[in-house]
Structure 1
Amino acid sequence: MQAVVLAAGKGTRLRPLTDDKPKVLVEVDGTPLIEDVFDNLIDAGATELVVVVGYKAEQVIDRYGDAYRDVPITYAHQREQLGLAHAILQAEPHVDGDFMLMLGDNVFRGNLVDVVDRQREDRADAAFLVEEVPRQEASRYGVLDTNEYGEVVEVVEKPDDPPSNLVMTGFYTFTPAIFHACHLVQPSDRGEYELPDAIDLLIQSGRTIDAVRLDGWRIDVGYPKDREEAGERLAERVTVDGSDADDAVDDAEEPVDG
C-alpha cells in the first residue's frame, strides 16, 4: 500500500526552529520528524512514499532523494498551504488504489498496522486511528463521533464546543474516494480546504469509515513544549502498551518458578 505524507507546512508555532528549515526536519530526540514518520509507515507496510512538500521543499528533497530504507519516494508540491484537503489533492496524480496518510509532524508509537488491516479486511472507504483526550484539549483537533459499530458518523474541525473528546490522530487509510470528496470541499471560515469537511462528504454519501482506538501514544508536534514532551517520551523508551521497555527487559530476565 502506498503512503502519503503531508509535509508542506511552515511550522510558524515552532519558530525560531523553523526559520531556516521546514517543520518536518525539526529534530526530536535526534531524529527529524519526517524520518520518524517514514519509519512508522514502512514498518506498517508502505511500499511507496508520496511526500507533499511546500515550505523549503528543496531541503527535504535533497536530504532523502528518491528512496528511504529502499522504499521509493515521489514528491508532490503544494505551492500554497491551503489546508489538508488541498494538500491531499496534490498527491492524487501519484496514488493508485488504497493508501495510508500521515501528517508529517506527528510522533507515533502505536498500532498503525491495525488500521491498515481494518482497511484491507473490511473494505472500508476509510479507517482512522483515534484517541481520547481531555475535553479542553479536543478543540485543537478534528473531533468525531462514532456509532455503536465503531463507524465515524461526524467529524468537526477544531470546534469551540467539542461534541466529544474523541479525536483524529493524524494517521488514516483511504480509498481513492477521498480525492473526489476533496475536490468538492469549499473553503472554511479559516480560508482553508479542511480534511474533516471532505470526510463529512464521504459520510453523507453513505461511505463506511471505521475508527480504531490508539493503543500506544502519539504527540502532535505543534509547539516547542510538544517537541520537548515527544523527546522525553522517546528517551524513556516507552513501549506500545505504556510500560517502560527497560522494565519489560528486567521482567523478562526474572527466573520462572519450576
Structure 2
Amino acid sequence: MQAVVLAAGRGTRLRPLTENKPKGLVEVDGKPILTHCFEQLTDLGAKELLVVVGYRAEDIVDYYGEEFADVPIQYAHQEQQLGLAHALNTVEDQITDDFMLMLGDNVFRANLEDVVRRQRESRVDAAFLVEEVPQEEASRYGVCNTNDYGKIVEVVEKPDDPPTNLVMTGFYTFSPAIFHATRLVQPSDRGEYELSDAIDLLIQSGRTIDAVELEGWRIDVGYPEDRAEAERRLRNAEEEAASHV
C-alpha cells in the first residue's frame, strides 16, 4: 500500500520544542517523530510515502529528501491548517488504491499489521486501530461507537461528553472512497474539516469500517510530557530487548 503521513501542524502545544522546528522533527529517543512513523510504515511494506507538510515544510523536505530506506517520498503542501480531512484531500490525486494513513505526531509499538491485514482480507472500506483510554481523556480524541460485530457505527470528534472511551489512535487504512466523503465535509465548530466527520459520512452511506483493538502501546506526542513518556517507554523496550540477547 501507499502510506500517507499528515505532518502539517504547527505543534503549538509542544512549545518550546517547536519554536524553531516542525513537530515532526522533534526528537523522541534520539530520532525525529517522523522517522519513527516512517520506520513503522516501511516495516509494513509501504511502497511510497506521501507526506503532507505545512508549517516549516522546507525543514522536513530538506531533512528527508526524496526517499527513506529506499522507499520514495512525495510531498503535498497544506497551505492552511484546516483540519485532517482538508489535509488528506491534498494527496487525493496521488492515491491509486487502498492506503495507510498515519498521523505524524504518534509513536507506535503496536499491532499495526493487524489493521493492514483486516483491510486486505475483509475488503472493508476502512479499518482503524482503536484504544480504550480513561474516560476523562477521551475528549482529546475522535471517539468511536461500535456494534456487537466490531464495526464502527459512529465517530465523534473531541466531544465534551464522550459517549464511550474507545478512541481512534492515529493509524488507519482506507479505500479511495474516503475522498468522496472528505470533499463533502463542512467546517466544524472549531472551523476545521474533521476526518471524523468524513468517516461518519462513509458510515451513513453504508460503507463498512472495522475496529482493531490496540495491542501494545502508542503515544500521541501532543505535549512535552507526552514526549517524555514516549522516550521512557522506548528506552524500557530497548533495555528489555537487550536483556534477552
Q: Which bracket does the TM-score occupy, shorter chain normalised? A: over 0.9
Matches within 5 A, 1:58-207: 58-207=58-207
After TM superposition, give the deviation of residue 55 of structure 1 in Å.
Answer: 0.4
Residue identity opposite 2:185 in structure 1: V
What percent identity do the matched residue pairs reach? Answer: 71
Distance in 2 separating the partners of 1:238 and 1:215: 18
Partner in structure 2 of residue 254 of structure 1: none
After TM superposition, give the deviation of residue 94 of structure 1 in Å.
Answer: 1.1
TM value normalised by structure 2 = 0.98
Residue identity opposite 1:24 in structure 2: G
Distance in 1 separating the partners of 2:164 and 2:242: 35
Q: Which runs of 5+ in 2 are unaligned?
A: none
The C-alpha deviation readout for 1:123-165, integer Å capped at 9, x for no partner, is 1000000011000000000000111111000000001111111
Partner in structure 1 of residue 218 of structure 2: 218
2:241 maps to 1:245: yes
Distance in 2 separating the partners of 1:186 and 1:158: 16
| Partner SS for 2:140 | coil
**Structure (1 or 2) with the larger CA radius of gyration:** 1
| Partner SS for 1:184 | coil
The C-alpha deviation readout for 1:183-202, integer Å capped at 9, x for no partner, is 00000000000000000000
After TM superposition, give the deviation of residue 13 of structure 1 in Å.
Answer: 0.6
Equivalent residue pairs, number: 245
Residue identity opposite 2:198 in structure 1: A
Partner in structure 2 of residue 17 of structure 1: 17
Distance in 2 separating the partners of 1:143 and 1:238: 32
Partner in structure 2 of residue 55 of structure 1: 55
Residue identity opposite 2:161 in structure 1: D
Partner in structure 1 of residue 229 of structure 2: 229
After TM superposition, give the deviation of residue 89 of structure 1 in Å.
Answer: 0.1
| Partner SS for 2:90 | helix
Distance in 1 separating the partners of 2:158 and 2:70: 37
The CA RMSD over aligned residues, in Å, is 1.1
Q: Which runs of 5+ in 1 are unaligned?
A: 251-258
After TM superposition, give the deviation of residue 245 of structure 1 in Å.
Answer: 3.1
After TM superposition, give the deviation of residue 93 of structure 1 in Å.
Answer: 1.3
| Partner SS for 1:86 | helix
| Partner SS for 2:42 | helix
